[in-house]
Structure 1
């Protein structure tokens, strides 16, 4: 294994992230003396039920090199490929192996805005409390001390950009489904490594520092004069199904990785099944053959193969349903409607 690789693709947790060298000068966002926010590095990615899948992720040489390039250069990793090839699972695999805690997940759709990922401000709650305070004062009472942190919470992108000593892992899922402006809106955030919360900046004269909640319910982040700025640039995975083109300015700021389809690679399919379902190799041969046959005439995903093998392994006894029938129910093409057989 090459020594330059921080992420090895083995699935075995280790502290290799501690060997990550200093960033390029143009990607250095913090100082050694800056205050940092701790996070739980042992927290499993999105719950313990997801860890086995992350640990079993099959990372090829190209994937490993792309991940390490993004880590070294402090650049987002734009991962393109067909559904089911493991784009989203890559974020879990990196977080699991490098012990970087819970993956921060930001699913994107056509209505998603940059602010959705950065932070939320409860303006209605703040207005209601102000009204309660005015009523209390009219009754001769004293207003409660203002706590702006009660009305602000960081989104997944905002949390990833908080001042952590080690990079957080952020998944921005299906960015190609976003509004046309979102990729360009992300540019400044990626270049600056931070953002301003105007509602807190306006109150900086009276509330210079405010503690606000994070998207993963971890330790609160202290924000000074409304500015959130990372110390370690997060490991960002942006996934795309290749349904649209991105502007050149966005592409040049990303490390790009194209994941090949695995539906015609029998050796790799066997390795995927072996990693996720040890002991099911015997039953898997026929299912893999059927999977490849059907994949030649329509779109399939590897999780369908795993589902079919699992189902066969649990029904392979006398009186079980017809194996081919079960497989064909699970292995239906994703790009067409297939009638039940």
Structure 2
């Protein structure tokens, strides 16, 4: 008896969520009329980042139908995808899964803290290093080709690199934006709306230096002309939040929001099989049941379950009493702290 054929994904989906690489990004339609970011001819040649997409994280990520819908909506509408939920639910991993399946290169990762500013994401300028070089040159101690090249003292950040003009979008992960200063979400509005920014230090250069090569966040070099960086294909932006605070309405309105729930039994089984193999499911069944009970009492993360299964398979559960003590250590609820 033949098995029924797997259901076909909806025709409008670009990202399928099955972890199988494909070239579906080539079917991405033009942006809507209210998001006219692509101007002129697409770039012909794209430099290849030195590292490929994270194969391991991208291949094993388990995604539900609703989240795949949200990813494809964000891709088609050219809007950031705001993912909320408890720690350990896979919010950050989604960016790697999309980059791996659609062949968009390594994820540009921008971790956010309370001290992070918009400038940190766009670019950094080593003014002290350039001044030091100028002093050496005046003293006759600095020679060689490239002396005085301002591009050597500029480095685009993850956001700035994601906005470089490319035929294919890059994937940008803005991690834990809820930890930021209160002004950062509003500062991002213009950049996300216009898909462009200005490198102020390049505006002061003479006409013969209109185009300057600058370093990028992924170890390459890219030309910047007249100090302007403007994307051709809007990046796929994943913004994560542990819901430590609310975002301004103007910012939230420009994002697509999806709340990732704690995984249930079926998804937990799929996650265990993806990471540890199908043969681990049967012996892990008691731990999965215990983990689900812990979820109802507080916040525990999937990686805590995987750690417990890995230790049990190594024999750490031979002494039942010591094993229960170890489980209490492994499954300490995240909101209780140390």
Q: 2:178 aligns to what? A: 176
Rounded to whole Å, the distance in 2 between the matches of 1:4 and 1:43 is 30
Counterparts of 1:213-224 in structure 2, within 5 Å, are 213-218=215-220, 220-224=221-225
Match of 2:6? none
- 8 Å contact from structure 2 (residues 311, 317) kept in 1: no
Q: Distance in 1 between matches of 2:254 and 2:98?
A: 20
SS of the aligned residue for 1:270 comes to: helix
TM-score of the pair, normalised by structure 2: 0.91
In 2, the alpha carbon distance for the partners of 1:164 and 1:142 equals: 33
Change (3 A) 1:204 1:70: farther
Residue of structure 1 equivalent to 2:239: 238
Three-state SS of the structure 2 residue aligned to 1:335 is helix
How far the C-alpha of 1:321 sits from its partner, in A, is: 8.8
Give the conservation status (yes or no) of the 8 Å contact 2:134–2:148: no
Change (3 A) 1:29 1:239: same
1:333 Cα deviation after fit? 1.3
**Farther-moved stretch of structure 1 (318-327 vs 77-86):** 318-327
Q: Contact 2:50–2:219 at 8 Å: present in 1 too? A: no
Pairing 1:315–2:315 present? yes
Are 1:39 and 1:164, in contact at CA under 8 Å, matched by a contact in 2?
Answer: no
Superposed CA offset, 1:193-230 (max 9, x none): 01000001111534100001110113x11100100111
Give the TM-score of the pair, scaled to structure 1: 0.90
Which segments of 5 or more consecutive residues in structure 2 lack a partner in the other structure? 1-8
How far the C-alpha of 1:101 sits from its partner, in A, is: 0.5
Select which of 207, 210, 226 maps to 2:209. 207
Q: Does the 8 A contact of 1:173 with 1:238 survive in 2?
A: yes
User: Residue 16 of structure 1 aligns with which residue?
Assistant: 24
Give ranges in structure 1 of 5+ residues lacking alignment.
Answer: none
CA RMSD in angstroms, aligned pairs only: 2.3
Cα deviations by residue, 1:175-197 (Å, 9 ceiling, x for unpaired)? 01100000000001011101000
Counterparts of residues 1-341 of structure 1 (less than 5 Å):
1-33=9-41, 35=43, 38-40=46-48, 43-45=51-53, 50-136=54-140, 145-218=147-220, 220-262=221-263, 265-278=264-277, 279-315=279-315, 322-336=322-336
Q: Is the 2:84–2:259 contact (alpha carbons within 8 Å) kept by the matching residues of 1?
A: yes
Is contact 2:58–2:96 with CA below 8 Å preserved after alignment? yes
Instruction: Return the offset for 1:296.
Output: 2.1
**Separation (CA, whole Å) in 1 of partners of 2:84 and 2:146:** 51
Deviations 1:290-321 (A, max 9, x none): 11222222210111111111111122687899
What's the CA shift string for 1:155-192, capped at 9, x where partnerless?
A: 00000001111000000000011000000000010111
1:41 to partner: Cα distance: 7.3
The runs of at least 4 consecutive aligned structure 1 residues that moved more than 6 Å come to 141-144, 316-321
